[in-house]
Chain A
Amino acid sequence: METTLSPRALSVSEPRTRSLLLGIPLFIYATVFASLSIIIGLIWDISWHTSIGRDGLFSAPHLAMYLGAVIAGTFSGYQVLQITFAGNKLQKQRSVRFWGIFYSSLGALFCIWGAFAMLTSAPFDDWWHNTYGLDVTILSPPHTVLALGMMTIQFGAIISVLALQNRGDAIGLPTDQQERRNRRLQLFYVVAAGFFLTMLYVIVSEYQSRHDMHRSSFYMIGGGLYTFLLSAIARSSRLKWAATTTAGVYMTMLMLMVWVLPLFSAEPKLGPILNHIDHFQAFDFPLLIIFPAIVIDFVLNRYAAKNDWLLALMIGPLFLLVFVLVQWPFGDFLMSEYARNWFFGSETWYFGSNPDWEFRYAYAPWMVTTGWSLVKGLGIATILCIGTTRLGLYWGRWMQQVRR
């Protein structure tokens, strides 16, 4: 006897799914997971290149990054096609229309762009290696295309959560569930922002290592970028301590990577090998951004009604002051023998670098900005921080308005 299997029978019953997901579309969960998968893959990949050196197109870290791209790209692509060709009026009203026929959420568009940029970077990077050699650097043009792709997917995740949070759709949930839904969206938002901050840090990490912590350029680059992002996040989030929590997510993420990766064995597969290692070399210990991030939340909470320029004038210099006061001595600590353990992981050393280098755990004279140069450098960093905070607040205002 022939039986017909209903598709419904294979799926979890709708009310149960609804209560589990709290009415938050699966797409949101997928994009946040994609963001996590990408950042884990990236840090793992850097560790792989520091420890093993040789990899293939389908190495495990690459697969983690591809997984993020595929999930984000597929879910977003499906969303566009579904809304365009089978969506109801409400779905279309919650979307932006483009190229005359398509409908999509902004987050999905960002994710699609990111997935295509990552796809583009693959043949570009392959050609680049064949033309200029295998670069042992994070910042090269094809890597930047890849990084832009990854960041855009991560930003897509942020925007997707944000649109939902800002819209506050009445979806008929009981009050307690509605509250849980709101909290979950707020949490997802800072988690997605934390992943994004981690990515931003990784991209500029060549200028943010412990050997750079006594340079004024460290504070110009770091101060400028982190104030921009964290001000925008703090303004657009509905959490009271959004910037601090975002920095906390960033620190937790990186610390976990520092603790977990060295548990696995690894052997350099490329010569010359100067540093003989037998386990994965961790990526850097996170910067203590959580402390200056408190400044942003504090000022925005206390002086919410003030003019944005005034807020920037308060946040910029204060952020930088706390950042310098915390990170400068922490740089000394990371150089000390107290940081050469599993917790701080400062023994991490590229297999191709001489482990007996005299400045492995010390600042060489050329790594330290002193005197007038330091005053000038920190002055520039202060002005930069004011400017980027103002820009971040402007950006945050736009993010508050995103609804589709």
Chain B
Amino acid sequence: MMMKDLYRLGLCLLLLAMSLTAYAHIGSPGVVFEGNAGPYRLLVSVSPPEVIPGTAQIQIFVENGEVDHIWVKPIYWYVGDEGSPSPDEAVVSEENPSQYDGTVWLMSSGTASLEVSIEGSLGEGDTLVPVMAASTAQKAMEPGLGWILAGLGIFLVILMVTIISASVSDGTLSPEQPMTARYRRKRWVGAGLAVLVLGMVLYGGKMWWDSWANSYQEYIYKPYQATSTVLDTEDGRILNFEIDTSYLSYRGESSRASYLIPDHGKLMHMFLIREGSLDAFAHLHPQRKDTITYQVNLPPLPEGRYFVYADVVRWNGFAETIADTIDIPPAPPMQAKLVSLAEERLYTDPDDTYVISNPVEASQPQLPANAIVVCGKPGIETPLPDGSTAIWEHQPGEPVVAGKLYPMTFAIQDPQGQPAVLEPYMGMMGHLVVFKNDGSVYVHLHPVGNYSMASRTVLETRIAQDQKLPQLPDPVQFADSVDYLLASLQTMGDVEREAYLMAGMEHEAKNSDATHTEHATVTFPYVFPEAGEYRIWVQMKRNGKVLNSAFDVTVND
């Protein structure tokens, strides 16, 4: 019992730690972008600052043409392009001549983007990389600096005591006047008073510093909180996800859940990962019942505690992840029929999917399931339940390193050993979830990178407008119009819906897969934020069905 309590406490602490760094990811703040800037094909990696205002560091790789200049500048959603400063030039990296390094100041919290402009042999081109600017951490002082400052502080106090004591005693004596016992006494009294006054000043300073730190804690980004519950109803097992409205008190009206917008045609992308063994994974799209309540038919996931990650995007393009946990109880025997019904209902939304794979530890028991996805390793071909095979194109045995930009390429072959023909899935050629086994890293990314497509669309639309500061729309009307759009998407057929979702998007597969015209490979650019054991789920689509594969990888420092 005590162990269980300790375990729960640990989990709570972990979730608390996660909540400090969550916005459209957990513990993976870097933004990777792959796409076009006019005629140029480029890969951009952004390290946003942990503290706003602060600087984002940018690395740019241009794959074609001769580059003369690359310029970068921040554009905020709130003020648009007209409210942006003049751009700064990115410079060729000293370490890698094909890499350009840039620095951009992010002065305010909120939805921002980096505009990358290129001039070169192919002419001019520019593109937009969404960046969510938010203070996510409070740094501690390094001991070295602490000692230096403490030393200087002590010196200043001693010197000031000396000055004050001299000021009230021999400082007032004419040159010819000798130092008498009276003035010596004055000196000591002055020193005593100085110690008292400086002590009070220092105490006041400490209080002030503390209040500043407390204010910063209030200013620091706080994600939405939510409560997930399992409801066994006559219609089957439902996951009820309720967003906590207390966020309004610290994030203001504009953060109302009424202002959520769809990304890839869904208002919410929810991922469930079975805690500990990581052997059950689901990608669901809960429907909005009211502005704070979302529900989805739960697939027949095995019992256990699950990490819940819900990715949402606000009307101003701010993308974030709501993290929670949920205990899924065993299905009651008499409701077995309902479970199977639920399973059927699940596929009424063809984009919901779940997968059972092997546990991360060999010692953990294997879950029973009709189809088990055996997790692959980088560079080693792995069979999938439908007879096809998947491979993460990576030199076997070559270590994967944290902080390095990887074009993670996954190739699929059909059961005949031929390159598979992949189809778009929610407007993308693939979806990928990176998860660190201890739960400290979670991110959902696509071949274009790990930013939200909806954020980018919102920013592009905003930048196309003049600099009239946006006004908060009516929450009811806004939510209604979004619901109407989603309802109309539901009535579309698969082909029509995919065409709609891909319209206006830069179809990355066309460009990135120039050598794989059959769409048998999909590349996800990503930078692992830290060393550790990771599990990666890749979701693609073949023959109208979602094709899930999973990989385990050790990331080194």
Instruction: Report A93-136 residues with CB < 8 Å from chain B CB.
Output: 93-94, 96-99, 106, 109-110, 112-113, 116-117, 119-120, 123-124, 127, 129-134, 136
Size of the B side of the interface (Cβ < 8 Å), in residues, is 50
Q: Is there a chain A Cβ closer than 8 Å to B302's Cβ?
A: no
Q: Is there a chain A Cβ closer than 8 Å to B84's Cβ?
A: yes
Verify A106–B155 contact, CB threshold 8 A. Answer: no
Q: Is there a chain A Cβ closer than 8 Å to B156's Cβ?
A: yes
Q: Is there a chain A Cβ closer than 8 Å to B399's Cβ?
A: no
Task: Tell me which of A113, A120, A127, A273 contacts B163 (CB under 8 A).
Answer: A113
CB distance from B189 to the nearest CB of A (A): 14
Which chain A positions have C-beta within 8 A of B82? 273, 276
Task: Tell me which of A99, A123, A273 contacts B84 (CB under 8 A).
Answer: A273
Contacts A134-B107, A268-B85, A273-B83; is A403 near B173 (CB within 8 Å)?
Answer: yes
Q: Is there a chain A Cβ closer than 8 Å to B152's Cβ?
A: yes
Verify B107–A272 contact, CB threshold 8 A. Answer: yes
Q: Mark B167-182, 1 if CB is under 8 A from A, else 0.
A: 1101111111000000
Which chain A positions have C-beta within 8 A of B135? 133
Q: In the complex, what distance in Å separates the CA atom of A398 from the CA atom of B186? A: 13
Q: Is there a chain B Cβ closer than 8 Å to A271's Cβ?
A: yes
Verify B208–A141 contact, CB threshold 8 A. Answer: yes
Task: Tell me which of B54, B155, B159, B174 contacts A134 (CB under 8 A).
Answer: B54
Q: In the complex, what distance in Å separates the CA atom of A99 from the CA atom of B176? A: 21
Task: Tell me which of A134, A144, A269 contacts B53 (CB under 8 A).
Answer: A134
Verify A113–B216 contact, CB threshold 8 A. Answer: no
Which chain A positions have C-beta within 8 A of B149? 120, 123-124
Which chain B positions have C-beta within 8 A of A354? 469
Stretch of B69-77, B236-244, B292-300, B457-465 with 4 or more beta carbons under 8 angstroms from chain A: B69-77
Verify A97–B170 contact, CB threshold 8 A. Answer: yes
Q: Is there a chain B Cβ closer than 8 Å to A345's Cβ?
A: no
Q: Is there a chain A Cβ closer than 8 Å to B205's Cβ?
A: yes
Q: Is there a chain A Cβ closer than 8 Å to B363's Cβ?
A: no
Contacts A99-B162, A273-B83; is A167 near B175 (CB within 8 Å)?
Answer: yes
Verify B54–A271 contact, CB threshold 8 A. Answer: no
Task: Tell me which of A110, A134, A136, A271 contacts B76 (CB under 8 A).
Answer: A271
Which chain A positions have C-beta within 8 A of B83? 271-274
Q: Is there a chain A Cβ closer than 8 Å to B78's Cβ?
A: yes
Verify A404–B155 contact, CB threshold 8 A. Answer: no
Verify B162–A402 contact, CB threshold 8 A. Answer: no
Stretch of B34-42, B138-146, B337-345, B477-485 with 4 or more beta carbons under 8 angstroms from chain A: B138-146
Q: In the complex, what distance in Å separates the CA atom of A283 from the CA atom of B159? A: 34
Q: Is there a chain B Cβ closer than 8 Å to A401's Cβ?
A: yes
Q: In the complex, what distance in Å separates the CA atom of A129 from the CA atom of B84? A: 22
CB distance from B21 to the nearest CB of A (A): 16
Verify B166–A271 contact, CB threshold 8 A. Answer: no
Q: In the complex, what distance in Å separates the CA atom of A106 from the CA atom of B165? A: 11
Verify B145–A271 contact, CB threshold 8 A. Answer: no
Verify A270–B172 contact, CB threshold 8 A. Answer: no
Q: In the complex, what distance in Å separates the CA atom of A6 from the CA atom of B79? A: 67
The residue of chain B having its C-beta at the shortest distance from the C-beta of A134 within the complex is: B53
Q: Mark B77-105, 1 if CB is under 8 A from A, else 0.
A: 01100111110000000000000000001
Q: Is there a chain B Cβ closer than 8 Å to A377's Cβ?
A: no
Task: Tell me which of A129, A267, A273, A403 contacts B175 (CB under 8 A).
Answer: A403
Q: Is there a chain B Cβ closer than 8 Å to A140's Cβ?
A: yes
Q: In the complex, what distance in Å separates the CA atom of A167 from the CA atom of B138? A: 53
Instruction: Report B454-513 residues with CB < 8 Å from chain A CB.
Output: 469
Q: Is there a chain B Cβ closer than 8 Å to A53's Cβ?
A: yes
Q: Is there a chain B Cβ closer than 8 Å to A331's Cβ?
A: no
Q: In the complex, what distance in Å separates the CA atom of A96 from the CA atom of B184? A: 12
Q: Which of A270, A352, A354, A398 has the most CB of B within 10 A?
A: A270
Which chain A positions have C-beta within 8 A of B105? 53-54, 269-271
Contacts A269-B86, A272-B76, A272-B79; is A120 near B159 (CB within 8 Å)?
Answer: no
Verify A272–B108 contact, CB threshold 8 A. Answer: yes
Contacts A119-B152, A141-B212; is A403 near B174 (CB within 8 Å)?
Answer: yes
Verify B53–A271 contact, CB threshold 8 A. Answer: no
Which chain B positions have C-beta within 8 A of A96? 166, 170-171
Q: Is there a chain B Cβ closer than 8 Å to A9's Cβ?
A: no
Verify A140–B212 contact, CB threshold 8 A. Answer: yes
Which chain A positions have C-beta within 8 A of B156? 113, 116-117, 120
Which chain A positions have C-beta within 8 A of B160? 113
Verify B139–A109 contact, CB threshold 8 A. Answer: no
Which chain B positions have C-beta within 8 A of A131? 51, 138-139, 141, 216
Contacts A134-B54, A271-B73, A404-B171; is A116 near B159 (CB within 8 Å)?
Answer: yes
Q: Is there a chain A Cβ closer than 8 Å to B415's Cβ?
A: no
Q: In the complex, what distance in Å separates the CA atom of A48 from the CA atom of B138? A: 28
Which chain A positions have C-beta within 8 A of B162? 98-99, 109
CB distance from B129 to the nearest CB of A (A): 15
Q: Is there a chain A Cβ closer than 8 Å to B6's Cβ?
A: no
The residue of chain A having its C-beta at the shortest distance from the C-beta of B84 within the complex is: A271
The residue of chain A having its C-beta at the shortest distance from the C-beta of B178 within the complex is: A93
The residue of chain B having its C-beta at the shortest distance from the C-beta of A351 within the complex is: B85
The residue of chain A having its C-beta at the shortest distance from the C-beta of B81 within the complex is: A271
Verify A90–B175 contact, CB threshold 8 A. Answer: yes
The residue of chain B having its C-beta at the shortest distance from the C-beta of A109 within the complex is: B163
Which chain B positions have C-beta within 8 A of A127? 141, 145
The residue of chain B having its C-beta at the shortest distance from the C-beta of A403 within the complex is: B174
Q: Is there a chain A Cβ closer than 8 Å to B375's Cβ?
A: no
CB distance from B467 to the nearest CB of A (A): 8
Which chain B positions have C-beta within 8 A of A140? 212
Q: Is there a chain A Cβ closer than 8 Å to B2's Cβ?
A: no
Which chain B positions have C-beta within 8 A of A272? 76, 78-79, 83-84, 107-108
Which chain A positions have C-beta within 8 A of B170? 96-97, 404
CB distance from B399 to the nearest CB of A (A): 31
CB distance from A84 to the nearest CB of B (A): 14
Verify B51–A93 contact, CB threshold 8 A. Answer: no
CB distance from B63 to the nearest CB of A (A): 28
The residue of chain B having its C-beta at the shortest distance from the C-beta of A141 within the complex is: B209
Instruction: Report B193-249 residues with CB < 8 Å from chain A CB.
Output: 205, 208-209, 212-213, 216
Q: Is there a chain A Cβ closer than 8 Å to B10's Cβ?
A: no
Task: Tell me which of B75, B155, B163, B176 contacts A93 (CB under 8 A).
Answer: B176
Q: Mark B262-281, 1 if CB is under 8 A from A, else 0.
A: 00000000000000000000
CB distance from B218 to the nearest CB of A (A): 12
Verify A53–B159 contact, CB threshold 8 A. Answer: no
Verify B107–A98 contact, CB threshold 8 A. Answer: no
Contacts A119-B152, A131-B138, A132-B216; is A402 near B163 (CB within 8 Å)?
Answer: no
Which chain A positions have C-beta within 8 A of B145? 123, 127
Instruction: Report A127-182 residues with CB < 8 Å from chain B CB.
Output: 127, 129-134, 136, 140-141, 144, 167
Verify B85–A130 contact, CB threshold 8 A. Answer: no
Q: In the complex, what distance in Å separates the CA atom of A112 from the CA atom of B152? A: 13
Task: Tell me which of B52, B54, B79, B173 contacts A404 (CB under 8 A).
Answer: B173
Which chain B positions have C-beta within 8 A of A117? 156
Verify B167–A273 contact, CB threshold 8 A. Answer: no
Verify B175–A94 contact, CB threshold 8 A. Answer: yes
Listed from nearest, the 10 A-B pairs whose CB atoms lie closest are: A93-B175, A401-B172, A272-B79, A134-B53, A96-B166, A120-B152, A272-B83, A272-B76, A106-B171, A271-B84
In the complex, besides A112-B159, A116-B152, A124-B149, 16 extra interface pairs with C-beta distance below 8 angstroms are A98-B166, A99-B162, A106-B163, A106-B166, A110-B163, A113-B160, A130-B54, A132-B138, A132-B213, A132-B216, A133-B216, A271-B83, A276-B82, A352-B108, A402-B172, A403-B171
Interchain residue pairs with CB less than 8 A apart (8): A53-B107, A96-B171, A130-B51, A130-B139, A131-B139, A271-B76, A271-B105, A273-B79
Chain B residues proximal to chain A, CB less than 8 Å: 51-54, 73-76, 78-79, 82-86, 105, 107-108, 135, 138-139, 141, 145, 148-149, 152-153, 155-156, 159-160, 162-163, 166-168, 170-176, 205, 208-209, 212-213, 216, 469
Chain A residues proximal to chain B, CB less than 8 Å: 53-54, 90, 93-94, 96-99, 106, 109-110, 112-113, 116-117, 119-120, 123-124, 127, 129-134, 136, 140-141, 144, 167, 267-274, 276, 352, 354, 398, 401-404
